[in-house]
Amino acid sequence: MGNSYTDLHESRILLYYCFTPIADPTAIMLWQRALCEKLGLTGRILISKHGINGTVGGTIASCKAYTKATRQYPGFKKMEFKWSEGGAEDFPKLSVKVRDEIVAFGAPEELKVDENGVVGGGVHLKPQQVNDLVAERGDEVVFFDGRNAMEAEIGKFKNAVVPDVNTTHDFIRELESGKYDWMKDKPVVSYCTGGIRCEILSSLMKNRGFEEVYQIDGGIVRYGEQFGDDGLWEGSLYVFDKRMHMEFSDHSKQLGYCQHCGADTNLFHNCINGSCRKQILLCDDCAASTATAHCGAEECASVASETSGAAEATGASETGGAAEATGASGAAGVTGTSGVSS
Ligand SMILES: [Zn+2]
Ligand SMILES: [Zn+2]
């Protein structure tokens, strides 16, 4: 099989994950690192005893060779790769690491996987089946946002419950808080960007007495690809690459607004206080002014007023990579174009 001119001269990004038992994560890590180095791929790959989560970029020829070689490992044989616009230049380097978890929920011992994936997770629904469930059960159905609360500020499923979480680490505390016990006997549809977070979240929910838990195959990305803004999704999708957000159509609902002046915006910015890691929605004007480019916390406001007149506020920059996996902020799995894996 030769490579075409296009294969050699055009680039793409691959987004993928797979839950499967890995007896020797270090051996897989070394193999994957050598494979990516040989092919000139950059990006981020996390491996745990539960599986793999990655986002890599390179020439089409390299991406093809990578998927073929990676599927040679029996556990990864059925792995789906999402192809997106982009390339090696979207990632500063190659990072292949072994972690306790491929998505950091803080529950490495609780998660069980076998050859078929996560054991005891929510029932997978295709986008159409999500609509069917709602048509059948109506208001009884609860959408449960499996992302960080911030992501839902610009888009979510209609009437979704958005848990108070800054990172995936907060979910267990939330689930055990009692706040959501009212939905334990209801049909609950968990959702996240590309589906990886809900593979784990839905199993954690079931373990805590949520009786009827579902998850959306391919997450918001796949639902949006099918139904755009004419289904149950409302607003923009937060993505972990330079774009920061994406819309599924030209008539997406506007949910985000500037924290300072209330103007419409879907763009997050880093708080001007370098030691505050918050991302906040700011309109262009408020982001451009050092006086207003803060998250609202007292300390940050005073940093802003001190800095005022000095440096320009910088744009946010949560870049690609298996960002979802880090739990630090969100979801991989952005597939529409160039994004992250989940
Ligand atoms: Zn503003
Ligand atoms: Zn702040």
We report the CATH number of the domain holding residue 45 as 3.30.70.100
Q: Which residues contact 195 (CB under 8 A, 6 or more apart)?
A: 215, 216, 217, 218, 219, 222, 333, 342
Domain assignment present for 323? no
- Report the Cα 92 to chain-centroid distance in Å: 19
- Scored b (16 or more CB within 10 A) or e, 230-256 reads ebbbbbbbbbbbeebbbbbeeebeebb
Cα 287 to ligand 1 centroid, rounded to whole Å: 7
Does any domain span residue 42?
yes
Residue 185 lies in a domain: yes
| Distance between Cα 275 and ligand 2 center (Å) | 8
Residue 274: inside a domain? yes
Same domain, 134 and 81: no
Is 241 in the same domain as 297?
no
Residues 149 and 221 in one domain: yes
DSSP string, 89-143: GGSSSEEEEE-S-SS--S-TTT--EETTEETT-PEEE-HHHHHHHHHHHGGG-EE
Ligand nearest to the CA of 296: 2
Same domain membership, residue 189 and residue 275: no
**What is the total count of domains within the chain?**
3
Residue 263 CA: which ligand is closest?
1
Query: Do residue 27 and residue 148 come from a single domain?
Result: no
Ligand nearest to the CA of 287: 1
Nearest ligand for residue 257 CA: 1
- Whether 332 is covered by a domain: the verdict is no
- Cβ atoms of residues 86 and 341 within 8 Å: no
Q: Which residue has the tokens 């920059």?
A: 317
In a domain, 331, yes or no: no
Domain-terminating residue out of 82, 102, 122: 102
Of 49, 70, 102, the position where a domain reaches its end is 102
Residue 192 annotated to the active site: yes
Do 118 and 242 belong together in one domain? yes
Which structural domain, as residue segments, surrounds residue 274?
268-311
Residue 108: name the closest of 169, 65, 17, 164 by CA.
Answer: 169
163 plus 183 within the same structural domain? yes
Angle at 227 between CA 244 and CA 162, to 5 degrees: 55
Residue 31 in any domain: the answer is: yes
- Catalytic position from the list 18, 36, 63, 192: 192
- Give the ligand at the shortest distance from the Cα of 284: 1
Give the tens place of pLDDT for each residue, 313-342: 444 443 333 444 333 333 333 333 333 444
pTM for the whole structure: 0.86
Residues 122 and 242 grouped into a single domain: yes
Evaluate whether 215 touches 190 at the Cβ level (below 8 Å). yes
| 53-64 pLDDT per residue, tens | 999 999 999 999
| Ligand 2 center from residue 268 Cα (angstroms) | 13
Please check the confidence at residue 77 and state whether its pLDDT lies above 90: yes
Dist. CA 263 → ligand 1 center (Å): 5
Encoded tokens for 215: 């998850």
Could you tell me the distance, in angstroms and rounded to a whole number, from the CA of residue 302 to the centre of ligand 2?
Answer: 10
Q: Are 124 and 95 in a shared domain?
A: no
pLDDT tens digits, 180-227: 999 999 999 999 999 999 999 999 999 999 999 999 999 999 999 999
The rounded mean pLDDT for the chain is: 90
Alpha-carbon span 77 to 69, nearest angstrom: 10
Q: Counting Cβ atoms within 10 Å, is residue 135 exposed (0-12), middle (13-18) or buried (19+)?
A: exposed
Do 238 and 297 belong together in one domain?
no
Task: Give per-residue pLDDT as tens, 132-189.
Answer: 999 999 999 999 999 999 999 999 999 999 999 999 999 999 999 999 999 999 999 9
| Percent of the chain predicted with pLDDT > 90 | 81
Q: What is residue 320's predicted lDDT score, i.e. its pLDDT?
A: 36
CA 328 / ligand 2 centre spacing (Å): 16
Evaluate whether residue 260 is within a structural domain.
no
Same domain, 209 and 89: no
In terms of C-beta density within 10 A (0-12 exposed, 13-18 middle, 19 or more buried), how is residue 297 classed?
Answer: middle
Is residue 173 within 8 A of residue 192, CB to CB? The reply is: no
Mark whether 129 and 186 lie in a shared domain. yes
Q: How far is the CA of 162 from the centre of ligand 1 (A)?
A: 24
Name the 3-class secondary structure at 317: coil
Confidence at 253, pLDDT banded by 50, 70, 90: very high
Among the candidates 102, 129, 156, a domain finishes at 102
Q: What is the pLDDT of residues 90-132, one digit of tens each?
A: 898 999 999 999 999 999 999 999 999 999 999 999 999 999 9
User: What is the whole-number distance in angstroms between the Cα of residue 274 and the centre of ligand 1?
Assistant: 20
Ligand 2 centroid to Cα of residue 304, in Å, is 9
The CA distance from 89 to 84, in Å, is: 13
CATH number, position 200: 3.40.250.10
